[in-house]
Amino acid sequence: MPDHDSPADEEILDSERFDSEFPEHDSTENPDNIAYARDTPASTGENLSTPAPVLIKTWREAPATCPVNTTRWKITSLDDGMRFAFRGRWTLQGLAMLILFNLIWNGGISVVAWEALLKPGVQKFDFDWFSTAAFMSIFLLFGLLFLVLLILELMEPFHTRVWTYDSVLVTCRIAWFGIGWSWAYPRQPLERIEVHHHPKPDSAGKTKARPNVEIDHESRQSSRLLKSTAPRKITFRKAGAELKPYEKASRIFTLVLFSRSGERICQWDGVTLEECEVLAPTLLYIDRQLA
């Protein structure tokens, strides 16, 4: 009877075969400068697809006088603080586009639904009728979405956002027709105010990027083993100088208030850079007056 190799002998043979195909390498050397997976941010749990907020500007010194308000915010002085109120408004372009979409989409769906489902003489509640109704329900859902967006746009002038900065609390209230919800944060002396922006990935982040290495012919075969672990390069635009004019006028920035202990007090979302230039110095000014 022929002898059979034991599992241990098979492991030894497999190990020798692997060593013959791939020569040994010193683990302390990396002559080809290959970016291994353990050296990449992805191996540490960092999410490359979600950019970290970018710091645009920092204010630390309070102005000697209260800045002149040149924004749409209504700033009112109180006995022990200030109120910052903002009211939404219609945008002609957005309102016109939503009305056009609703007229075309919902108008077309209404005509088709009348002819196929509701017109007198159409046989109802049979298999063909239910099949047609189920098919048209998909288009009806999109029509309802356009209608909800139009209603929200029409309600925008009744949308208010009010921040109150006084000696005790920093409060925010968001409401439609006076009905909404509020948040309150304990006021602490301000150390600085920052403007943050969440940039979007460049088009380079959507393409498959090659590792930033030069691999010679001898290491080409072993580098194939690392192909699946090679990091994808995702770059994000730097804020500030590379921001386009329409981006600077968009409500995509956040004011972040920090206390003297370095603790984040609260943040004001949905402001423009122009508004930040007024709101931040005004907050520092009133904070020094309350100190």
CA nearest 198: which of 7, 24, 47, 52?
Answer: 52
- Asked whether residue 136 falls in the same domain as residue 206, the answer is no
Q: Are residues 249 and 226 in the same domain?
A: yes
The closest alpha carbon to 264, from 254, 272, 274, 273, belongs to: 254
| pTM of the predicted protein model | 0.61
Asked whether residue 74 is domain-assigned, the answer is yes
Alpha helices by DSSP H, listed for the chain, are 7-21, 92-101, 107-113, 127-154, 220-223, 245-248, 273-290
- Percent of the chain at pLDDT above 90? 47
- Coil, helix or strand at residue 167: coil
Same domain, 119 and 235: no
Domain containing 225 equals: 37-81+186-290
Query: What's the mean pLDDT in 176-196?
Result: 93
Q: Is residue 180 part of a domain?
A: no
Instruction: Tell me if 166 is assigned to some domain.
Output: no
Separation of alpha carbons 87 and 68, rounded Å: 19
Position 230 pLDDT exceeds 50:
no
Short-list 203, 192, 243, CA closest to 54: 243
The Cα–Cα gap between 253 and 261 comes to: 24
Question: What is the count of structural domains for the chain?
Answer: 2
196 and 71, same structural domain?
A: yes
What pLDDT does residue 201 have?
56
Q: What percent of the chain has pLDDT over 70?
A: 68
226 contact partners, CB below 8 Å, separation of at least 6 = 34, 36, 37, 211
Burial class (CB in 10 A: 0-12, 13-18, 19+), 276: buried
Task: Decide which of 105, 137, 156 is a domain's last residue.
Answer: 156
Write down the pLDDT at residue 40. 36
Q: Is residue 171 part of a domain?
A: no
**187 or 238, which is more confident?**
187
**Is the domain of 190 the same as that of 275?**
yes
Where residue 91 falls among pLDDT bands split at 50, 70, 90?
confident
Confidence of residue 26 (pLDDT cuts 50, 70, 90): very low
> Would you call 72 helix, strand, or coil by DSSP?
coil
pLDDT by residue (tens digit) across 44-90?
Answer: 344 445 567 889 999 999 999 999 999 999 999 998 899 999 998 88
Indicate the pLDDT class of residue 3, thresholds 50, 70 and 90. low
| Residues contacting residue 106 through CB under 8 Å, at least 6 positions apart | 143, 146, 147
Assigned domain for 9 exists: no
Q: Are 278 and 73 in contact (CB under 8 A)?
A: yes
185-224 in b/e form (b: 16+ CB < 10 A) is eebeebbbbbbbbebeeeeebeeeeebeeebeeebeeeee
pLDDT band, residue 247 (cuts 50/70/90): confident
Task: Say whether both 208 and 232 belong to one domain.
Answer: yes
For residue 143, count other CB atoms closer than 10 A to its CB.
19
pLDDT band (50, 70, 90) for residue 102: very high
pLDDT digits (tens, 9 = 90+) for 109-129: 999 999 888 888 888 888 989
Inside any domain, residue 144: yes
71 lies in some domain? yes
d(CA 32, CA 212): 11
Q: Say if 5 falls within a structural domain.
A: no
Are 192 and 272 contained in the same domain?
A: yes
Which amino acid would we find at residue 228? S
CB-CB contact of 129 with 117 (8 Å): yes
pLDDT in tens, 128-147: 899 999 999 999 999 999 99
Mean pLDDT score of the chain, rounded to an integer?
76
Residues 100 and 67 placed together within one structural domain of the fold: no
